[in-house]
């Protein structure tokens, strides 16, 4: 099964505004209507069997409401990652509750949520996530349309990995769009996951090849960043890469995410 480990949807009344805003601020096009029905149509067209969705909140008071909305969007082929907030208290019991409710992980976006990844106020959350072993998806590197500073640079992410080595970290955009040199120096070969969201077809081929050779294939996840890329085009590009074996493609395109999010597969 092909799994898109990094997709977004938005509420019906907000989706057009979000898509238009990102198009204007970051020149980021969209390939669906940004809503659940658009994602499902895109998945059917691409042959993707499961998408993991996220939506973050920038306000502490909205954490529970956003998570309820995400749960309402859950379908057999669409599973959510929960949102938390730097000022929202998180305990291991809370994370276990989220997991019981059906969340497959947590999504953080340091730029939108206004924190550096190595800010000590995040440490209680990291410790709780480490104890529970719930996957944490970090936006990494720049975010198009947002001004500096970048809050999740590879060096800062490595620092957190060193301090919380048992936390399951998924670093989006291959460790950070436009920060590939620092990612290559700091993160490749570490016990962290990278996803391909948005950058798969943007990265220079030789850079992408080096990343796939220097980082364990078992820790690379296919992600599209839908609706901001076309799921079918992203998946087909991955499957056509000449320097990956069929087994490596199968792992990246779904096997690794299945093992991580759904439990180890029967061999």
Instruction: Assess if residue 198 is contained within a domain.
Output: yes
Instruction: Assess if residue 113 is contained within a domain.
Output: yes
Instruction: Assess if residue 212 is contained within a domain.
Output: yes
Q: In terms of residue numbers, what domain contains 173?
A: 3-262
- Per residue of the chain (267 residues), what is the pLDDT tens digit? 999 999 999 999 999 999 999 999 999 999 999 999 999 999 999 999 999 999 999 999 999 999 999 999 999 999 999 999 999 999 999 999 999 999 999 999 999 999 999 999 999 999 999 999 999 999 999 998 899 999 999 999 999 999 999 999 999 999 999 899 999 999 999 999 999 999 999 999 999 999 999 999 999 999 999 999 999 999 999 999 999 999 999 999 999 999 999 976 544
The DSSP line for 145-190 is: T-PSPPS--HHHHHHHHHHSTTS-EEETGGG-BT-HHHHHHHTTTS
The DSSP line for 221-265 is: E----BTSS-HHHHHHHHHT-TTS-HHHHHIIIIIHHIIIII-PP
Which helix (H) or strand (E) covers residue 4, if one does? strand 3-8
Residue 184 has what pLDDT? Answer: 98
Instruction: Assess if residue 267 is contained within a domain.
Output: no
Total number of domains in the chain: 1
* CATH classification at residue 57: 3.20.20.140
Residue 263 has what pLDDT? Answer: 79
Instruction: Assess if residue 142 is contained within a domain.
Output: yes
Residue 267 has what pLDDT? Answer: 46
Instruction: Assess if residue 159 is contained within a domain.
Output: yes
Instruction: Give 89-97 contacts, CB < 8 A, sequence gap 24+.
Output: 89/124, 90/124, 90/125, 90/128, 90/129, 91/128, 92/128, 92/131, 92/132, 94/128, 95/128, 95/129, 95/132, 95/134, 96/132
């Amino acid at each position: 099964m092909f799994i898109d480990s990094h997709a977004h949807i938005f509420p019906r009344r907000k989706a057009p505004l979000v898509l238009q805003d990102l198009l204007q601020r970051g020149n980021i096009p969209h390939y669906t209507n940004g809503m659940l029905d658009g994602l499902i149509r895109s998945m059917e067209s691409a042959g993707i069997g499961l998408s993991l969705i996220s939506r973050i909140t920038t306000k502490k008071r909205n954490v529970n409401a956003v998570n309820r909305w995400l749960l309402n969007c859950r379908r057999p082929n669409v599973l959510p990652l929960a949102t938390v907030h730097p000022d929202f208290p998180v305990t291991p019991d809370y994370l276990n509750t989220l997991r019981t409710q059906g969340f497959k992980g947590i999504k953080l976006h340091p730029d939108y949520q206004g924190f550096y990844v190595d800010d000590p106020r995040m440490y209680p959350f990291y410790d709780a996530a480490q104890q529970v072993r719930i996957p944490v998806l970090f936006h990494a590197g720049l975010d198009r349309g947002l001004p500096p500073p970048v809050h999740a640079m590879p060096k800062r992410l490595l620092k957190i990995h060193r301090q919380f080595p048992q936390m399951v970290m998924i670093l989006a955009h291959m460790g950070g769009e436009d920060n590939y040199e620092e990612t290559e120096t700091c993160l490749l070969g570490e016990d962290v996951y990278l996803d391909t969201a948005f950058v798969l077809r943007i990265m220079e081929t030789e850079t992408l090849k080096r990343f796939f050779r220097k980082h364990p294939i078992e820790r690379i996840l296919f992600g599209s960043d839908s609706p901001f890329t076309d799921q079918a085009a992203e998946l087909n590009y991955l499957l056509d890469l000449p320097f990956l074996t069929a087994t490596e493609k199968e792992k990246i395109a779904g096997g690794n995410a299945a093992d991580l999010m759904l439990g180890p597969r029967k061999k």
